[in-house]
Amino acid sequence: MARTPNFAAGPAALPLAVIERLQGALPEFAGQGAGIMEISHRSAAFDDVLTSAKARLASLLGVPDDYAILFLQGGASMQFYMSALNLLGDSCAPADFLLTGTWSTKAIKEAGRVGAVQGAWDGKSVAYKRVPRPDEITVRSEARYLHYTSNNTIYGTQFHTLPDVGLPLVADLSSDICSRAIDVSKHALLYAGAQKNLGPSGVTAVILSPWAVEQSRRTAKARQGGLPSMLDYGLMVDKNSMFNTPNTFGIFALDQVLAWVQDGGGLSAMSARNQAKADLLYAELDRSDFWVPRADVDSRSLMNVTWRLSSPDLEARFVEEATAAGLHGLKGHRSVGGIRASLYNATSLADVQALVGFMRDFEAKS
Ligand SMILES: Cc1ncc(COP(=O)(O)O)c(C=O)c1O
């Protein structure tokens, strides 16, 4: 069967050129006489992969030299707890959260097991149709950090400026990392599950400021028996993400995706491409009342475009006919319904053109 446009929210489309490179590394890799999944994580060949993946991520995102980069397991969901445990766990210290949808609500719930958390803005009253303006954010001066979700995968909203209100930032970048430039130096910690813009599921990139690493060490000292090893950033930094066996294949795939991003012109080129794709789809949504875009214009996500039709039945028919036409992954998240087209880096302008063509035909015959 031929590959078809894939608008899934994650795991999501990967560039075909990357998949072909991964395929080539499966039977034999780098003169090892064994494939990438079969060599030791302690081998020099894998060490090169890990070093390369860190260097590419640092170069693409402009990660300051004194920051640490980890590739962990447990998904972004583990970071909801792990970040709070390390950054607040020495004294049950406070942290503030921007509640912009499902994932930030999950993040605050997990952090609340460790510290005194509070919403600094809650988008529930606006049905998560937008992210807050800076003047709407109320933080506590004693809060150690402000946590935000850069892109809200389910509701289809995205921060287009940093919520820079004077606190160190902790960011969940799972669904927009490497889709555009970001000022890493404003952040104490950033994390992202790989399965949207970086590679396959099962590997999570975590970027830590020196303060975050120090804070982790303080917490480990303050707690009787230290931190659980697998949840200890300081230990993971000391062991270069190899306290235990890392997701070797996932890290290799991530390195190949980042090489593809670099070859494609880096984040400025990705950002321009992503803007062009999103502009095309939003222009179609704005063209006719047949489509009802979910997000407010200023907060629209370039990664996950969400909209409704006049009834759930019509939405179901849209998804069914789109799938039959070879356009996959368009069903909205089960918690909110509707339609969602995810336009991560690997989605091409031609994929979006095909979607818009299908939408016009669908509207015409409905
Ligand atoms: C913004 C965001 N954060 C967190 C998660 C959870 O990620 P994981 O499944 O890697 O734990 C997701 C998953 O879609 C997400 O979109």
pTM for the whole structure: 0.98
Residue located nearest, by CA, to atom 2 of ligand 1:
174
What domains are there in the chain, each with its CATH number? 16-263 (3.40.640.10), 266-365 (3.90.1150.10)
Backbone torsion region of residue 362, taken as left when φ is above 0, otherwise alpha when ψ lies between -120 and 50, otherwise beta:
alpha
Strands (E), the chain: 68-72, 94-99, 116-122, 146-149, 151-152, 157-158, 169-172, 187-193, 204-208, 292-293, 304-308, 339-342
pLDDT for res 2: 83
Task: Read off the amino acid at residue 295.
Answer: A
DSSP string, 308-336: E-SSHHHHHHHHHHHHHTT-B--BPPTTT
308 CB burial (10 A radius; 0-12, 13-18, 19+): middle
Tell how far the Cα of 193 is from the centroid of ligand 1, in angstroms.
6
Q: Which atom of ligand 1 is nearest to the CA of 106?
A: 4
At residue 344's C-alpha, the angle toward residues 38 and 340, to 5°, is 120
- What residues act catalytically? 103, 172, 196
Q: Name the token pair of 262.
A: 């670099």
Return d(Cα 297, Cα 302) in angstroms, integer.
11
Is the shortest distance between the CB of 159 and ligand 1 below 6 Å?
A: no
Using alpha carbons, select from 18, 68, 64, 30 the residue that is nearest to residue 255: 18
Instruction: Divide the 366 residues of the chain into consecutive groups of 10 and give the mean pLDDT of each group.
Output: 92 97 98 98 98 98 98 98 97 96 98 97 98 96 97 98 95 98 98 98 98 98 96 98 98 98 98 98 98 98 98 97 97 96 98 98 96
Verify whether ligand 1 is closer than 6 Å to residue 206 (CB atom): no
